[in-house]
Amino acid sequence: MSGVTHVETVVVGGGAMGAATAWQLARRGRDVTMLERYEPGHRNGASHGASRNFNVGYADPAYVAMLVEALPLWRELEADSGTPLLELVGVANHGRAAHFDAVQAALTAAGIPAEFLPIEEASRRWPGIRFDTRVLFNERAGRVNADATIAALHATAAAAGADVRHRTRATRIEPLGEDRVRVASVTDAGVEEVFEARTAVVTLGAWTTKFVGGLALPSLVVTQEGPAHFAVRDEAMPWPSYNHFPGAAADGYDYWRSPVYGMLTPGEGVKAGWHGVGPVVDPDARDFLPVPDQLADLQRYARDWLPGVDADAVTPISCTYTTTPDEHFVLDRIGPIVVGAGFSGHGFKFTPVVGRILADLADGSGPAPERFAADRVAQAGGSPTGLAGS
């Protein structure tokens, strides 16, 4: 035991949201320490991989406001880190989705480009995808490199003065009052240390309930999801990111598990995945293996709808979702503990904005939108986006 270390804010969890919070606090000149259980580049949570959808398909005002803020903050992070992270290859949303008109209207009102393309035009632009409905296309959208984002956030947070610690697991949290909290930790080498801080920001993803289960939070369900990469047939073919919505079972959609999301991951193939249909798991007891029938149906989807890929040349991926009953995030402060959780498979695009909101909550400079309150009355239902994937 090395005694008690005093710090203004301790961030517990160094994935996307925790690292973004540390970056935001450090660049404000705040005294912040970030504790990350695993080594850099680990594959145990939800923030790894080379691609995520930067999908702007929202009509909800709370998310639209965050979208307006997101692109400039992504560009700030790129400038701070000297690393390209976001490619605006566009997002093509298609299929039988009644909410597209509301999304197009909300985005247009916010100054975010959104246009409908006929089947013929979309097919000409992106021959690797089969379309049978109009397409809602967003040109100021695309894909984010998740692995590069985490590395950039860790580096820029440290460069701004944050104490970034890997292989250091938080073992216990204890509120000491409205503005004082104690966090115990242990390193992989067995060195124990206790931090006392004005605030603790908990961004532990699938481990949130295990660590702060005593707080009044919405139910957080952890699932192991199994998207996959499919080999492309022509490396020169252009690919947007995409979300695809099914029609009636009688029209040939009976095998669909959910809407499908995906994007090209350069060097790895075209990603495709069902949204939030994986088995419930303990994040410390995962097998990282695909569910065979779900993978088979995903290959069937690729054969039916992605003529630009080889459905038999498939590489499964494993990640986690941590989902709330209403699929809205939890961004709130309870006493000296700030919680960022429940990103429900659509949070990554908002990473720098979430970091800003959690930093505001930690240093008292601003609230989170009421939509994300921990004590809200959450009702189970469809995704707030109506659109799958993050």
Domain enclosing residue 145, as ranges: 4-372
- Kindly state whether residue 383 falls inside one of the protein's structural domains: no
- Kindly state whether residue 389 falls inside one of the protein's structural domains: no
| Token pair 């598990």: residue | 257
- Kindly state whether residue 196 falls inside one of the protein's structural domains: yes
Domains contained in the chain, number:
1
The domain that holds 269 is classified in CATH as 3.50.50.60
d(CA 62, CA 346): 14
- Kindly state whether residue 384 falls inside one of the protein's structural domains: no
- Kindly state whether residue 377 falls inside one of the protein's structural domains: no
d(CA 383, CA 109): 22
Per residue of the chain (390 residues), give pLDDT as tens: 457 999 999 999 999 999 999 999 999 999 999 999 999 999 999 988 899 999 999 999 999 999 999 999 999 999 999 999 999 999 999 999 999 999 999 999 999 999 999 999 999 999 999 999 999 999 999 999 999 999 999 999 999 999 999 999 999 999 999 999 999 999 999 999 999 999 999 999 999 999 999 999 999 999 999 999 999 999 999 999 999 999 999 999 999 999 999 999 999 999 999 999 999 999 999 999 999 999 999 999 999 999 999 999 999 999 999 999 999 999 999 999 999 999 999 999 999 999 999 999 999 999 989 999 999 865 555 567 545 455
* Nearest in space to 291 (alpha carbons), one of 307, 304, 274: 274
- pLDDT for 48 equals 87
- Kindly state whether residue 265 falls inside one of the protein's structural domains: yes
- Kindly state whether residue 390 falls inside one of the protein's structural domains: no
- Kindly state whether residue 379 falls inside one of the protein's structural domains: no
pTM of the model as a whole:
0.96
- pLDDT for 47 equals 87
